[in-house]
Chain A
Amino acid sequence: SAVISQKPSRDICQRGTSLTIQCQVDSQVTMMFWYRQQPGQSLTLIATANQGSEATYESGFVIDKFPISRPNLTFSTLTVSNMSPEDSSIYLCSVEWDRGGETQYFGPGTRLLVL
């Protein structure tokens, strides 16, 4: 399976600031996804990061708040902009590893606390 790393692993930020989370995969993958997991909750898909085109956002998530980059087949970033305490969450990237069919593999997550 693909090995996925995320940076930072955790951060504490002040409201109104922005944080960019990086996701690196050790293999080339077509599909990369960004999820949010609020405390004690399941995963909510934010967007699908497409290489060479704009990300596809789910209902309730917008590009101005969560801009995404996907410069190549092994890397993506998610920015959480103009943060508020409600953005405190775990942010996870995942990949649909091409040799793994439709199964998604997850990074370790970025734990964000906004004060």
Chain B
Amino acid sequence: TQLLEQSPQFLSIQEGENLTVYCNSSSVFSSLQWYRQEPGEGPVLLVTVVTGGEVKKLKRLTFQFGDARKDSSLHITAAQPGDTGLYLCAGDNTGGFKTIFGAGTRLFVKA
């Protein structure tokens, strides 16, 4: 069974701090997505990474796909209270048709 392991599971930081969330697997993914979900809402897509080694930036968020397409990271610079939410990584495996979700990282940024 393919698994996507996210770490940390929970993170509480002060406004202005930097943080990194990791998403790791022993399997290769054809693409990987990062979502943010706020309470009472559905997950909202932040980015899709497809190419090994790819780096994408979205304002203060930097996403990286591992060279072997087995892992990914999300780095947030100077976190703000508006970044608070559940961050989910999801991967599309290379052999099947199902998207696999990580357990999520719950981020709380204190003002």
Contacts and interface: CB of A to CB of B under 8 A. Distances in A.
A102 B49 CA distance: 11
Given A42-B88, A101-B31, A109-B41, 6 more contacts: A41-B103, A42-B101, A42-B102, A103-B33, A106-B43, A108-B41
Nearest to B31: A102
Contacts, number: 45
Interface residues of A, number: 20
B90 A104 contact: yes
Interface string A85-115: 0000000101000000111111111010000
Contacts of A62: none
A104 B99 contact: yes
Main secondary structure of the interface of A (DSSP, over half): loop
A1 interface: yes
Interface in A24-65: 33, 40-43, 45
A35 B106 CA distance: 19
Contacts of A43: 43, 88, 101
B42 A42 contact: no
Given A42-B88, A45-B98, A106 B31 contact: no
Contacts of B104: 41-42
B95 interface: no
A20 B31 CA distance: 33
A17 B17 CA distance: 48
Contacts of B83: none
A105 B35 CA distance: 10
B48 interface: yes
Nearest to A105: B45
B30 A111 contact: no
Contacts of A92: 42-43
A111 B43 CA distance: 14
Contacts of A33: 99
Interface in B65-108: 88, 90, 92, 98-99, 101-104, 106
A103 B48 contact: yes
Contacts of B45: 1, 103-105
